Amino acid sequence: MKPEERIIVALDVPDEQSAIALVDQLPQVGFWKVGLELFTSTGPRILELLKSRNKRIFLDLKFDDIPNTVAGACRSAARYGVDLLTIHTTCGRDALKAATEAAQSGAAQVGLKPPKLIAITLLTSISARQLAFDLKIPLELPEYILEMALLAKETGVDGAVCSPQEVAQLRDTCGNDFLLVCPGVRPIWADMGDQKRSLTPAQAMQAGADYLVIGRPITAASDPGLAWQSISEELTAIA
């Protein structure tokens, strides 16, 4: 892939009108993330609109429920023809296995390629202190994330979402066939926002990330097209 094809731009807007305006403003972007806010507002219509423009889709709904429920959700989502789909590793081994099988069967029912199922290891807004004191997890943060990624790999999940700071360790342990998707990426000129474990786009890619999910540094910029170009050039320089 070309470096710019590894950037997934987060379509974190509240409604269809805002989403389409942003997509039209950035025609050079080929891969968009649709999250909870937008999907709850528009339903699958936003996916249909993106597909009609030949865009790739990262459907980031972070399913987390009992095995039967997440299987049903993944089966339905796979019928939309999305490229990436997220599920929390905390739903457990049985649910992860069920989700993987359901995504494949759902896509097969409508003659589509199944989405890559991507496991959430730990939200990038959570710090090591919060993991220990708020969530009461006794493991160190890197160890916890590694255990979650290994669980995902063992159950047939295609990859994991992790912060850029964990990419190198997961790449070394999980291998080159395990997709690593990194949100929380921030160019050196961008505000950190609510991200606690961030790196620059170039640093994340050099560490072994397959895809970078970037939202506000592009979408909230005074000139989104210029911000996109700047990040693309940063990645091209290290390719």
The model's pLDDT over 102-152, given as tens digits with 9 standing for 90+, comes to 999 999 999 999 999 999 999 988 889 999 999 999 999 999 999 999 999
Question: How high is the pLDDT of residue 112?
Answer: 97
Q: How high does pLDDT run on average in the chain?
A: 93
Q: What is the mean pLDDT of residues 197-208?
A: 84
Q: 131: Cβ–Cβ under 8 A, 6 or more apart, which residues?
A: 122, 137, 139, 141, 144
E strand residue ranges, 137-176 = 159-161
pTM for the complete prediction? 0.93
Q: Is 164 in contact with 198 (CB distance < 8 Å)?
A: yes
Q: pLDDT grade, residue 198 (50/70/90)?
A: low
Q: Is 212 in contact with 206 (CB distance < 8 Å)?
A: no
Is residue 62 flagged as an active site residue? yes
Q: 67: Cβ–Cβ under 8 A, 6 or more apart, which residues?
A: 91, 92, 94, 95, 97, 98, 99
d(CA 20, CA 123): 27
Q: Give the chain's domain count.
A: 1
Structural domain containing residue 99: 3-238
The answer on pLDDT for 84 being more than 60 is yes
The answer on pLDDT for 195 being more than 90 is no
The answer on pLDDT for 225 being more than 50 is yes
Given the residues 2, 51, 62, 136, select the one marked as catalytic: 62
Q: How far apart are the first and last CA of the chain?
A: 10
d(CA 70, CA 76): 10
* C-beta neighbour count of 177 within 10 angstroms: 8
Place of tokens 């979650």: 148
Question: How high is the pLDDT of residue 199?
Answer: 81
DSSP 14: S
Q: Is 82 in contact with 114 (CB distance < 8 Å)?
A: no
d(CA 97, CA 111): 21
* Nearest Cα to Cα of residue 13 among 26, 22, 5: 22
d(CA 39, CA 46): 7
CATH number of the CATH domain containing 119: 3.20.20.70
The model's pLDDT over 146-188, given as tens digits with 9 standing for 90+, comes to 999 999 999 999 999 998 889 999 999 999 999 999 998 888 7
